[in-house]
A and B are shown apart, each in its own frame.
Chain A
Amino acid sequence: MSEEKISEALKKGKMVIIVGASDSRINIEYPRDKVEVIVRS
């Protein structure tokens, strides 16, 4: 499932960030039109 999401986002020219589910203490600010964040469960 993640692989499909990654591939789709890359086709749109978006950067993809895969974060762990336990990273809830971190704040990441990013431009939503240029970046796709996927949470690895």
Chain B
Amino acid sequence: MPGTGSINIPFPLELFWLIGEAEFTRYTSLFYLPPNLDVTIRWSPKDEDKVFLVFAMTFGSLRDYNTGETVYTDEIGLWCRGPGIKFHWNPLLESVSDFIYPILTPTTRNNPLEIRFVNRSSITAYMDVSIWYFELTRYRFESMINFVKGFTNLFKYLGMARNIDEIRRLLGLR
């Protein structure tokens, strides 16, 4: 079964959703891939003031257009890159298409998610792809990044303390 399992939402995103700073949504499309295909698309918010914080991608089964049968092949796949994501190849094999694909990237109009579809096989195939993300304004996104930095810095300083008295002092408990 493709993409079996739950999708883990990173903690800062959950928090921002809980306090109403971010809205969860999902994008799903069907892609039909003819042979000899090499096409790059760029996916981003239409609004320049928005950030789409992508936290997962899920792929449906790749199917033969003529027979409807599920296909696993490394001759069909997609290259992917985005802010903070290195350009990498995703062949549509079981370890990719039957797995929830963890990803974390803040896409904006100027820094889109780039997906290059390749079909080197002789068959026409189709598949569905979902992109799971939170929608935030740029201002709220920057607030979230500051929150995460503050959170990690707090524990970094606590980790540097030599004893409980120093931790008390750092937390202002004296």
Interface residues on A, range: 20 to 34
> Is the Cβ of B30 less than 8 Å from the Cβ of A18?
yes
As a 0/1 sequence over residues 13 to 32 of chain A, the CB contacts with chain B under 8 angstroms (1 = contact) are 11111111001111111110
> Is the Cβ of B27 less than 8 Å from the Cβ of A26?
yes
- A30 in contact with B27 given A10-B32, A24-B46 (CB within 8 Å): no
Assembly CA distance A35 to B40 (angstroms) = 10
Main secondary structure on chain B at its contact with chain A?
strand
B34 within 8 A of A: yes
> Is the Cβ of A10 less than 8 Å from the Cβ of B34?
yes
Most buried by B among A6, A13, A15, A35: A15
> Is the Cβ of A15 less than 8 Å from the Cβ of B42?
no
> Is the Cβ of A27 less than 8 Å from the Cβ of B45?
yes
> Is the Cβ of A27 less than 8 Å from the Cβ of B28?
no
Contact residues in A for B30 (Cβ distance below 8 Å): 16-18
B-side residues, CB < 8 A to A, are 27-37, 39-47, 50, 65, 109, 112, 117, 124, 135
A-side residues, CB < 8 A to B, are 6, 9-10, 13-20, 23-31, 34-35
